[in-house]
Every structure is written in C-alpha cells, then in structure tokens.
Structure 1
Amino acid sequence: TYGLCNCKQRFLYQKLSSAFLMDCKNRKHRLLKFPIASTFPLFSVQLIHVACVCAGHNASRDVVTLVKSILFHRRNPLHFHFITDAVANQILSLLFQSWMVPSVQVSFYDADELKSEVSWIPNKHYSGIYGLMKLTLTKALPSDLTKVIVLDTDITFATDIAELWAIFKKFTGMMFGLVENQSDWYLGNLWKNHKPWPALGRGFNTGVILLYLERLRRIGWEQMWRLTAERELMSMLSTSLADQDIFNAFIKQNPVLVHQLPCFWNVQLSDHTRSEQCYTEVSDLKVIHWNSPKKLRVKNKHVEFFRNLYLTFLEYDGNLLRRELFGCPTQATSESIRLQGALEELDEDDQCYDFRRERITVHRVHLYFLQYEYTLTGDETDITLVAQLSMDRLQMLEAICKHWEGPISLALYMSDAEAQQFLRYAQASEVLKNRKNVGYHIVYKEGQFYPVNLVRNVALRNANTPYVFLADVDFLPMYGLYDYLRKSVVQLDMAHAKKALVVPAFETLRYRLSFPKSKAELLSMLDMGTLYTFRYHVWTKGHAPTNYAKWRTATTPYKVEWEADFEPYVVVRRDCPEYDQRFVGFGWNKVSHIMELDAQEYDLMILPNAFMVHMPHAPSFDISKFRSSPGYRYCLQTLKDEFHQDLSRKYGAAALKYLTAQRNI
C-alpha cells in the first residue's frame, strides 16, 4: 500500500482508478512505500460476478442502492452484468462511467434480444416480461463465465458479497443456490382455491441465486426449463411469480441440483412472510429483500432496523465508494490516465488551483431519475426548456410546469440525500406526478464550487428535440410561450439559418405576483413599477442590448448586435455550442456562452411578443463568495482572460473584438 504525500495526491486517490501510478510533480514530494503489516489481512483478489435484470427508470434507481450496499462492504473486484432495456442501459452506462469506482467492471446485455426467449410465457407478475429473463442467463451471459450471483434490484447487502460467493465451493454437483421461500405461497393455503405452481415444500425465492452457469449449460438448461414451463402451462395457464414459478417447478423434479442457502442470505419482507423465524439476532442478517410494494411499511418487529439499513445506503454519498481496494492493484483506464495527466499539469502553488481543479472533477450523473415518457412526434419545430437547479430552487418546479407545457430537461445539482428528498417531493406533488415529459437528471455534488456550466451541459445534452430554450429555473415563461416559440422557429426559418431567438427578461421584487397575461399587461405593470427590466438595478449591461425601448412597440423580430457582458435567454438549435465548464460558481457562465454563439455567427433576434419574469429568491452562496472574496474575483478575471485567449485561438481574428470590448469596460 502507498502513503499519500499531499492534497493533490489525496484528490487523485479519491477520483481516479489509477492511484497506484501517482508520482509527485518535479519530485518535490515522494511517495512512501511500506510493506503491509502482518495485522492487515491479505484479501483475495478473486473477481466476483453479479448479474441483475434491470428495466425502466424505477428499477434503475433501485439498483443504485443495491450497488452501494455491495460496494460499501466489498473487498474484492467486481464485475456487474446488467440485462437492460434501452432506458436502463442509457441511465446505468453513464452512471458507472461517471462514478469511476476502482476495481469494478460493468457489462450490458440487450433485453430486447432475449424477449423472444420468454415472450411466449403468459405471466401475471407486475414485473412483466423482464421478470422471466433470469431464465435466459446461460444464453445471455458470456459463454466463458462459469458462475454468477443473480440479484433482484430490491436487495440490500449487510455484509461482504464475497461470503456469498464463497458458498460456491460447497456445491457438489449442485447448480443453484437458493433460500427457501418465507411465505406460504407455494403451500397453497393462502386463500380458497389458491393453486400455485408445483414446488419443493415451501419452494425457493429467486431474489438471490447462486447460478453455476457452466454446469447448467452442460445439462442443456435452456431446453430443460422450456420443457418444464410448457408442461406446467398446460394446466396452470400462466405464471404468477414469473421466473420463480418455473425455477421451482424444475427444482421439484430435480431436487439434487439445489443447494439450500441459510435464510439470512435472503430475508424476505413481503406480505405473508415469516422472516422473523429466519434469525435470532438482526446482527445475523446478510441480505434484506424488500420484495413488497409497501417497502418500508412492512410488518416486522425489526422493521425500524431494516428501514435504517436501507436508508443508510439510499442516501449514502456514492463518492465515498471511489476507494481503492487494499492489496488489489487496479488497472488504469484510458480515462483515469487522461485525468491523472490533466491533474499533474496543474500547479499547486497557483492561486486559482482550486478553480482549475474543478474543471477536471468527474461528477456522478444519474439521467432520468424519474419516469420520462415523452416521445418525439416528428415535429421539426419542437422545443425543450433547458435549465439547472439545486435544492434551494425546488419550489420553482411546479410553477414552471404550469407555465410551460412542452418538454423540459432539468439537471439537478444535489447530494445523494438531497436527491431522495427531491424524489419524495416530486412523488407528493400532483403537478409533477402528472408531467411525464420532464427529464430530471441528477448531477451529484462534489467539490467546493457549484459547477453550473457542467450541470447546464448535462441538461442540454439530454434534450431530445430539434430546438432548446436555454433558461434559468427561477424564471417563469409567459403563458403560451411554448407555442409562440414553435411558430417563431418556422417564421424565422431557423432550420436553415444560425439564429438565437432572445426572450426578453423582466423581474419582480414581489413574492406574490399577478402574472401578466399579455405584453400589454406587462407594459402596464412595467410603467407602474410592479415589474422591471431584468437586473436593471444591479447589472444593466447583462440585458441592455435587448433594447427594451424598441421592444415596447416592436411587432416583428429585430436583430441586435452582441455587446460585452450580454447574457440573454435564447432559443437555439440543440447542436449549439456547449457551456464552457471552466466557469464555476457565480460569474460569466452565461456571458461566455453567448459570446461563443456570436463567434459562430449566430444572429441574435429579439422576439417582440415573448417575455419571461424572474421571481425573487435569496441570493446564492456563490454570489456571497464572489462579493466577499477578493481571491474569488481575481480568479474569475483570470479565467475570463484565458477564455478570451482560447476564443482567439479557436476563431482567429474575428474573436479579437471580444478582447477589445473587455479592455474597454
């Protein structure tokens, strides 16, 4: 193991899977090597394989809690195998890519390619066709994979998964390792005329399975489970518990193939279970199976213990799981090597080191945290409202949904615990529950600055319409703006011209506002002092080029020229430049983006009958830091200068005007 010599190395250790390759810049510090003391156990570096069927938004969210509980206890490298639909694949592939957990491999397998294997089986279980796919694992997983632990998504580990993997050594010709069912379902006495599938005694629960793939392939498992299902379906007509019915019917005919696991490896908390008979002390538990739609409201005398265990991992900071395994060197990935190189190029003595380091920080990203069902209609004028927010702006969501009926892409900068608070908030809101065309993407907190442009880019990348309305979450669009903007896209021929449509911005200092229903009503409120042009009192330059005097009487769109510090809210094509991620916290995050739009020769067109209103709120923490810290302001100016230089290199002589404008301020 290695000693970490300074803050840069500690950061690298936390961030990258290549911590063992570190070297101190210019040899100013040296890493200290020392032998592992005899009191430290030398853990096996055997690779453990885990398979899981995961489909849809909710299961993707559940599987993260499962993975956290495994990672928290594990001391072995892991290889996760996910059988996913397109939704879960998109969510989990980016999540693991951005999580960058050392000694973890992830593979994905297309569930659509397996549907034909099980689609012929009538199934009444709520999991649908995906509840049958564990039957196909010998075919789905690589042919050279000999054994695997198979888990449902609603599992929580309370111990090292290596203990479960070690039970494979006890298999003497067995092919399944399973825990007995803790309900009376397969005994057939739950209600009158209850007729379950055949099972050995109480049957076995398939939430946790040790699957010896190599042996199953050898006996022709794919044909054998099919024959079993066909035979039983002649009388049963359909499955009630999906794959569990077929596994149990097969095991009843072949009982010598199953190794019965101690019940603490799958403590089932569904209704009608006798899970309390499974253990004497809760400390004996290894795996909790939340196989109840009621989850945390199950009836069990130890439910508070189970609930706390579950919530621990639900809200656990996943960044803390980016730790190396002792005695298990990790092979560096190309991404970790790239990030290591970028970090080594930074000068620790630079006054703005912390700002520069933020730019290469890798944040975990969980796309589509909630259900998203918006389907493109082929309409080439469709527009997605794009914005970002943190926990302190959550109250704006319902109002925005009432003002904008079109699709929305929101990136939320939150901790793991805050993400769960948001989930509860959204599930309790009638307004948000009824909106399925809002994509919520969690960017998990890390570092001391708010990476505002990185968060914006996550929302921008995941808009799936031809056009995007780049807004802030504390603005309410005028009623009907969605339809007006779509008509403007056609009117201004945006499909064939590089244009940025500006939506003029206004503000109110009143927390309760009778929102203007038309431009005429807005102008009246402007004259009465109920509304103001945005930032008129504190930052006039930010929106002055909109030319509000002209807008008052304009009936057709008009073009304006770029001016220094202009930061309007615009509608552009989705393939517009992304925000520059060097700008974090407060200052210049939108200004730099509009500057690059201008450098790419976008025409800035002011819309005569569009407006949005900024609602009052407490100042952000980053604004307070900007105002109180000379170092913060110095570094922001430094980043501005470097941005200008990069713009000049990228766009040549045409970009010199930005540098000139900056010097004239």
Structure 2
Amino acid sequence: MPCFLRGKIKLLAASLAFMVLLTWLYLIVWNLESGRSLLLSPCLVDQSELGYLERDVLISRMRKVEEENQQLRAQLRQSQGMAHVQEGNYGNQQWVASADTGTEDGENTAEERVNGTDCERRPMVEKCEVIHVACVCAGHNASRDVVTLVKSILFHRRNPLHFHFITDAVAHQILSSLFASWMVPSVLVSFYDADDLKSEVSWIPNKHYSGIYGLMKLTLTKALPTDLTKVIVLDTDITFATDIAELWAVFRKFADKQVIGLVENQSDWYLGNLWKNHKPWPALGRGFNTGVILLLLERLRGIGWEQMWRLTAERELMSMLSTSLADQDIFNAFIKQNPVLVHQLPCFWNVQLSDHTRSEQCYTEVSDLKVIHWNSPKKLRVKNKHVEFFRNLYLTFLEYDGNLLRRELFGCPSQPSPESVPLQAALEELDEDDQCYDFRRERITVHRMHLYFLQYDYSPTEDGSDVTLVAQLSMDRLQMLEAICKHWEGPISLALYMSDAEAQQFLRYAQSSELLKNRRNVGYHVVYKEGQFYPVNLLRNVALRHASTAYVFLADVDFLPMYGLYSYLRKSVLQLDLAHTKKALVVPAFETLRYRLSFPKSKAELLSMLDMGTLYTFRYHVWTKGHAPTNYAKWRTATTPYKVEWEPDFEPYVVVRRDCPEYDQRFVGFGWNKVSHIMELDAQEYDLVVLPNAFMIHMPHAPSFDISKFRSSPSYRFCLSVLKEEFHQDLSRKYGAAALKYLTAERNI
C-alpha cells in the first residue's frame, strides 16, 4: 500500500476514535452535572425529572456527533477501497466497493449492510438503457437451447433488450416466428445471415462439434451494425441467475486499451496436461473461455480486429493444423500475443460445467452465481458436486411459462411490435359485456409458437405429387404418434398444443422412442397454451401453413390411415390432376369401439369387419349426417372415384392442394370447426370426389374436455350458434348470392 494512503488511513482512524471518546466524555460530564448516571437503566430513571427542553438539546447534540462519525467512516471506507483497487487483481476474486460504483455485483458491501447505511452510487446502467446481446444460433437443437437462455435473461431483466442472432435459414425461421408470436415488450430482435459470413471462417479447419458456426463469433465486428459500440456475446448453453444489466455494467471497468472481457478457463485444457501428447493452442496461463464475452466493438474495429485475428489464426494453423475448441483457440492465441487488450472477468460470470473443470472453486454461496455454462457435450449429465442444484435451476427456466415474461417495463418507452398493433385495435372493439366475449377474445389471441421443435429434413419428390398428412393434437393424444408413423411413411406436419412443461415432456418422449427419433420428415410445431379454449382451427392452420409439399391430407390425429394410403394418394393426385383442377379427394372414415384392433390390410378385409360389426361408418351412432354424404353404400362396390354433393354438416377428411382456404379460427373447442372449412371449399367450387380404395379408422379414446363443456354448458351451445350465424353472414358477403344456399339449408334443418 502506498505510504501516503497508509498515513491518511491512520489519521482518519485516529480522528474517528477521538470523536467517539469525546462524545462519551461529554455525555458522562453532562449526566454527572444533572445528578444522573449512565449506568442506571432508563427504566429506573424518573422521567419527570428530565425536562423536555433538556432532552431535545441532548438528542440534537447526539445527532450532530453521529453525523460527524458517519462522515469519518465514509472517508475511511473510501480510502480503504482506493487502496484495495490499487493493490487487488481482477482474477477470480469478487471485486470490492470503489468510491463511485459500489461493489462489482451491484450489492452493498458487508459493512454497509451491517450498519444499515445505503451509499449513494451511480446505477449499474441507466434506467432505460438498451442492453445488446449477440448469439450464434444454427439448427433445430440450438434454437431450442437459445429459448431457455432468453427465458433466464427475461426473468431477471429490468432493461430493454436487443438480441442479435447470427442464424442459418432453419434457426431464422424458427426464432423469427417465435419472437413475433411471443411479443415481449421492450425486446427487439435482429437477424444476420450466417451464409454471408461463412467465407470469413470456412478456411479454418475445426474439429469442434459446433462446426463452422463455432467460429462465427470472430466475425461480429463485421456482422453487427457499425453504430453498435458494445455487445454481450453468449453461447446458447448459458443460463443466467441474475440481471444481465450487472454484466453490462462491467464495461465501465474496462481500462483504456481493453477491448475484450472474458472469464478464465476453469479446466486444465490450455495447460496441456490432460493426457499424454496433449498439445493445445497457445494461451495466457489457463486461457479464457468464450461462452461469455464482452466486446467493445468500437475499439475492436479501431485496432483492426479482423486483420489481427486472421494473422493470428494463419500463424498458429501452420503448426496446429486445426482448431480443437473453435473460436476459443483463436481468441486465446490472440490474447497471448496481446494481453493488455483483455479484461479478466470474475469467474462467477461464467461458471463452467465441462469436464476437468475447477468450477467448484469459483463460488462458495448460491448468491455468488451469476451465469451457468453447460459447456459439455454431456450437458445436464456433467459431473459436479452441485450439479443437482444447477440442473434444477436450468429446468426451472426450461419449463417456465414464457407467457408470464410478457411483462411491461414501467417507465421505459416501448415501441409496439407490428403484431401487437392490430391485436390491440381488435381488443378495443370487443364488448366485455357480450355473453360470448371469451369466444371472440380467443379468435384474436396470438399464441406463442415454436416451429420445427425437433429435427426436420424433407426432400421433395421429383414428380411433385408428394402429400403431407396434416393434423393437430394435445398431450392426451400423444400416444397416437407412433401408430400414425407406422401407418404413414410420408411427410407429416403436426401442431401440438402444449404448455412449456408439456413440450419438454414431449421432447423426452420423442427422443426415447426408437421410431420417432429416427423420423426426420415429421414437422412438430409447438403452439403454447393460452386462454380457456382449445384453438383447434388455429392449430390446423399452423400445421397446414408449414406443410412442405404441394398437397395435403387434412386429417385428425386419432385416425389411423390404411396401410399404403400415402402411395395411393400420390397416385390419385396425378391421375385426378389436382394440379390444374379444384378437387377435394374424400378419404372415407370408419371407427372401432375396440382399443385393440387387428387393422384391416385391404378394402375387402375392412368390408368383412364392417359386416361383422367390428367396424362402423364414422359417427354412425351419434352424428350420421357428418359423413353420410360420402355414400358408403356406393363406396362398397366402387372401383373408380365418384363425385358427391355438399350437404349441411358434411365434414369429411380430404386431400387438397396446400393453397386451399384456411380454417376459420372463430371456431374453437368443439363444434363446426371442420364443417365450416368444407363449406368454404364448396363455396370456392371445389369438387368433392370420393376415393374408392382409401379408408381411415378412428381409434377410441376418452372424450375431450371441450366436448364435455359443449354437452354440459348451455352458454357454450348458445355461443356456438351465434358464431355459426355470423359465419354464414360473412360467407354471403364474401361469395355473394351463391353462398345463400348454406344459410337456407341451415334454417331448413
């Protein structure tokens, strides 16, 4: 410690002691003069003997002395803090309070907490300052991981955020749809095409499992806007346990020449002693981990970062031949040559859980944790004595209801998103006293969506006749997936209505199923639960919009297609020229009441089972007119497709072109959701053509919650009739006089 500081501290300490001693002497003399003793308990003193005026004078004098003592203590703390900052290092130590900014993590010092004082300090960041975060995200799996990262940030944040995502085409589609439907206030999202950056790093051989995308953090000075001066860069396998504003505030700690903020690597990788002949890239000591990076972009551009890291990589690759840890190797080699440019962050900003780490030495209390980094290929299966705690923290955000994160930041101006403006206008038009308000509100609800929740690969057929099976389901129909995949080998597009926790249950189910995990042509699109009704037609539209083929088979998930139906439909599409005609090909529907069924392998076998009473035409007992126009009697002997006419309440399952009308989303829960769609197909002059050698069978299950509500609630049935009437009126306005037949037919029933 410098001599002048040591002397100053001694002087302040002596002054403080002198003032305390003087205070006590004054009080003792005053009490002796008044005939009282400080040794007497206040309870034993006759309070009437002490005049009010004398008591006020005493209180005033004591307050003055205490204020002087507080000033001396503050000066002493300031001097000690300055000494610590000069003497201390920024290694894996928590930073202590300094004169102007308080502690590094934004908390009061221990002394301040004990004494109950609250120093006036600058805030970590300005109240409405925008915090910029960048991530490289490519593929389906990384897109799921980044959602958990974002949830953990949103949970703690108090500032506006701007996320910058460097993505491939898959991640761009998934994340753009997710954030547009999430509609979190005070959150902006920008996307940058990774393909535009590949040429910058594709020349670098990389052994890391992240591939070329693991090198793209090197290109951020080029990829991000030139007016962006600083950014926090994160891996997708990060979980925040604190407000990211605390990390953003660390930029203020950078010295004049420092441009990169990093946490020391917590494994022995760069020490080169993990195994025999282990030769890592050069690094400063233990090296640094690049899962969390603070980048001062403005300074980096000023020193010629792009040229500097390239020269470093070219030089080291001459002997190393390839990178083992992607961008991290190049960052460390660069820092080894330019140590003055790095600002070492405290280790709790990147608690690393990879193999061979010393992360347990980074923290002693739960309150020390700031950022958890699952930087092991094993992810949640890593070996760490506190791994259960870390896993539970991660699972909390993994299954957290993302709808709860749509909270406003009070006091910060927020630019409304393009999606929220029409929603707000529509909400204002609704009458809350309307008996059917809940139904009308459901129609305009924007549900958060995560498209392609699992890996999806599809290669179109050469003849362009491919057909996608389109359906929707909730958690209680999950058991049907394996059976459908056995019956239908073609592409499938499914909308799954689930909570965040249920989506994770589905993920575990799919990954544990040998059949499902090996199917890459099934698109799973999660629509997160919100509201009190099952949005059946919204779900159908989501699945329809994201079918990858020119033709779609509009089915329900509780039906099993006949074996070979996929091939048969592809041939029918070509034979009936669906590409140039408006046709809806009807697949006749049957049902069984048996949970175990020997599924018919041909039409002849099905007819035999129909005659024996093992099978029935669909809804024959409860809703005959829903499928009666299919004309099952004619179908029994038909060998060629035949046309049928629309009739009221007809709701067959059909094959159509993907550009067909969408389902009407005013119909939620149970009732009229398919009927209205077939009616609009007829209004658009689609021919309904029954296929003679196709069939599907409905499998038994417990009734849905929505059909139970329909049966038990007069209000539900009343509102459904109101919505039907409004649909008829809208159809008439849309298609003119030709649509009057629907209203007439409805009233004649």
**How many angstroms does 1:333 deviate by?**
3.1
Separation (CA, whole Å) in 1 of partners of 2:98 and 2:664: 27
Separation (CA, whole Å) in 2 of partners of 1:121 and 1:378: 36
**How many angstroms does 1:434 deviate by?**
1.1
**How many angstroms does 1:335 deviate by?**
2.8
Q: 1:498, 1:602 within 8 Å by CA — same for their partners in 2?
A: yes
**How many angstroms does 1:60 deviate by?**
0.2
Q: Using a 3 Å threshold, how does the CA distance of structure 1 residues 214 and 439 change in structure 2: closer, same or farther?
A: same
Q: 1:73, 1:161 within 8 Å by CA — same for their partners in 2?
A: yes
**How many angstroms does 1:2 deviate by?**
43
Question: Which of 367-376 and 67-76 deviates more?
Answer: 367-376
**How many angstroms does 1:15 deviate by?**
41
Q: 1:17, 1:332 within 8 Å by CA — same for their partners in 2?
A: no
**How many angstroms does 1:16 deviate by?**
41
Pair member with larger Rg: 2
Q: 1:18, 1:333 within 8 Å by CA — same for their partners in 2?
A: no
Q: Using a 3 Å threshold, how does the CA distance of structure 1 residues 649 and 664 change in structure 2: closer, same or farther?
A: same
**How many angstroms does 1:326 deviate by?**
2.0
Q: 1:557, 1:607 within 8 Å by CA — same for their partners in 2?
A: yes
**How many angstroms does 1:169 deviate by?**
0.5
Q: 1:17, 1:324 within 8 Å by CA — same for their partners in 2?
A: no
Q: 2:90, 2:346 within 8 Å by CA — same for their partners in 1?
A: no
Separation (CA, whole Å) in 1 of partners of 2:726 and 2:563: 40
Q: Using a 3 Å threshold, how does the CA distance of structure 1 residues 2 and 218 change in structure 2: closer, same or farther?
A: closer
Helix, strand or coil at the partner of 2:419: helix
Q: Using a 3 Å threshold, how does the CA distance of structure 1 residues 42 and 222 change in structure 2: closer, same or farther?
A: closer
**How many angstroms does 1:105 deviate by?**
0.2
Which residue of structure 2 lines up, in the alignment, with residue 61 of structure 1? 144
Q: Using a 3 Å threshold, how does the CA distance of structure 1 residues 467 and 494 change in structure 2: closer, same or farther?
A: same
Provide, for residues 585-618 of structure 1, a one-character-per-residue CA deviation record: whole Å limited to 9, x for no partner.
0000000000000000000000000000000000
Q: 1:103, 1:325 within 8 Å by CA — same for their partners in 2?
A: yes
Question: Which of 288-297 and 607-616 deviates more?
Answer: 288-297
**Which 4+ stretches in 1 moved above 4 angstroms?**
14-19
**How many angstroms does 1:338 deviate by?**
1.4
What's the TM-score once normalised by structure 1's chain length?
0.93
Q: Using a 3 Å threshold, how does the CA distance of structure 1 residues 106 and 576 change in structure 2: closer, same or farther?
A: same
**How many angstroms does 1:299 deviate by?**
1.2
Helix, strand or coil at the partner of 2:496: strand
Structure with larger RCO (C-alpha < 8 A, sep 6+): 1
Separation (CA, whole Å) in 2 of partners of 1:433 and 1:15: 48
Q: 1:267, 1:278 within 8 Å by CA — same for their partners in 2?
A: yes
Helix, strand or coil at the partner of 1:15: coil
Separation (CA, whole Å) in 1 of partners of 2:149 and 2:319: 37
**How many angstroms does 1:17 deviate by?**
38
**How many angstroms does 1:259 deviate by?**
0.5
Q: 2:458, 2:548 within 8 Å by CA — same for their partners in 1?
A: no
Provide, for residues 77-114 of structure 1, a one-character-per-residue CA deviation record: whole Å limited to 9, x for no partner.
00000000000000000000000000000000000000
Separation (CA, whole Å) in 2 of partners of 1:477 and 1:331: 48
Q: 2:183, 2:419 within 8 Å by CA — same for their partners in 1?
A: no
Separation (CA, whole Å) in 1 of partners of 2:297 and 2:613: 74
Separation (CA, whole Å) in 2 of partners of 1:516 and 1:365: 37
In the comparison of the two structures, how many residue pairs are matched? 633
Q: 1:48, 1:79 within 8 Å by CA — same for their partners in 2?
A: yes
Provide, for residues 62-83 of structure 1, a one-character-per-residue CA deviation record: whole Å limited to 9, x for no partner.
0000000000000000000000
Q: Using a 3 Å threshold, how does the CA distance of structure 1 residues 17 and 611 change in structure 2: closer, same or farther?
A: farther
**How many angstroms does 1:42 deviate by?**
12
Provide, for residues 518-571 of structure 1, a one-character-per-residue CA deviation record: whole Å limited to 9, x for no partner.
000000000000000000001001000000000000000000000000000000
Helix, strand or coil at the partner of 2:199: helix
Which residue of structure 1 lines up, in the alignment, with residue 220 of structure 2? 137
Provide, for residues 136-156 of structure 1, a one-character-per-residue CA deviation record: whole Å limited to 9, x for no partner.
000000011000000000000
Separation (CA, whole Å) in 2 of partners of 1:336 and 1:81: 21
Provide, for residues 214-240 of structure 1, a one-character-per-residue CA deviation record: whole Å limited to 9, x for no partner.
000001100100000000000000000
**How many angstroms does 1:328 deviate by?**
1.1
Q: Using a 3 Å threshold, how does the CA distance of structure 1 residues 88 and 325 change in structure 2: closer, same or farther?
A: same
Q: 1:18, 1:332 within 8 Å by CA — same for their partners in 2?
A: no
Q: Using a 3 Å threshold, how does the CA distance of structure 1 residues 190 and 179 change in structure 2: closer, same or farther?
A: same
Separation (CA, whole Å) in 1 of partners of 2:581 and 2:716: 39
Overall identity of the aligned pairs, in %: 91
Q: 1:18, 1:331 within 8 Å by CA — same for their partners in 2?
A: no
Question: Which of 325-334 and 557-566 deviates more?
Answer: 325-334
Q: 2:663, 2:673 within 8 Å by CA — same for their partners in 1?
A: yes
Separation (CA, whole Å) in 1 of partners of 2:419 and 2:489: 39
Q: 1:453, 1:580 within 8 Å by CA — same for their partners in 2?
A: yes
Helix, strand or coil at the partner of 1:326: coil
Q: 1:123, 1:242 within 8 Å by CA — same for their partners in 2?
A: yes
- Structure 1: any 5+ residue segments left out of the alignment? 4-13, 25-40
Helix, strand or coil at the partner of 2:478: helix
Separation (CA, whole Å) in 1 of partners of 2:137 and 2:327: 14
Q: Using a 3 Å threshold, how does the CA distance of structure 1 residues 335 and 433 change in structure 2: closer, same or farther?
A: closer
Q: Using a 3 Å threshold, how does the CA distance of structure 1 residues 291 and 346 change in structure 2: closer, same or farther?
A: same
Separation (CA, whole Å) in 1 of partners of 2:700 and 2:97: 43
Separation (CA, whole Å) in 1 of partners of 2:422 and 2:458: 36
Q: Using a 3 Å threshold, how does the CA distance of structure 1 residues 159 and 630 change in structure 2: closer, same or farther?
A: same
Q: 1:16, 1:102 within 8 Å by CA — same for their partners in 2?
A: no
Q: 1:18, 1:337 within 8 Å by CA — same for their partners in 2?
A: no
Separation (CA, whole Å) in 2 of partners of 1:292 and 1:340: 44
Q: Using a 3 Å threshold, how does the CA distance of structure 1 residues 168 and 2 change in structure 2: closer, same or farther?
A: closer
Q: 1:16, 1:100 within 8 Å by CA — same for their partners in 2?
A: no
Separation (CA, whole Å) in 1 of partners of 2:413 and 2:214: 37
**How many angstroms does 1:18 deviate by?**
40
What's the C-alpha RMSD, in Å, of the aligned pairs? 5.4
Separation (CA, whole Å) in 2 of partners of 1:334 and 1:503: 40
What's the TM-score once normalised by structure 2's chain length?
0.83
Helix, strand or coil at the partner of 1:571: strand
Q: 1:355, 1:584 within 8 Å by CA — same for their partners in 2?
A: yes
Q: 2:262, 2:289 within 8 Å by CA — same for their partners in 1?
A: yes
- Structure 2: any 5+ residue segments left out of the alignment? 1-88, 100-117
Q: 1:17, 1:331 within 8 Å by CA — same for their partners in 2?
A: no
Q: 1:373, 1:437 within 8 Å by CA — same for their partners in 2?
A: yes
**How many angstroms does 1:375 deviate by?**
1.9
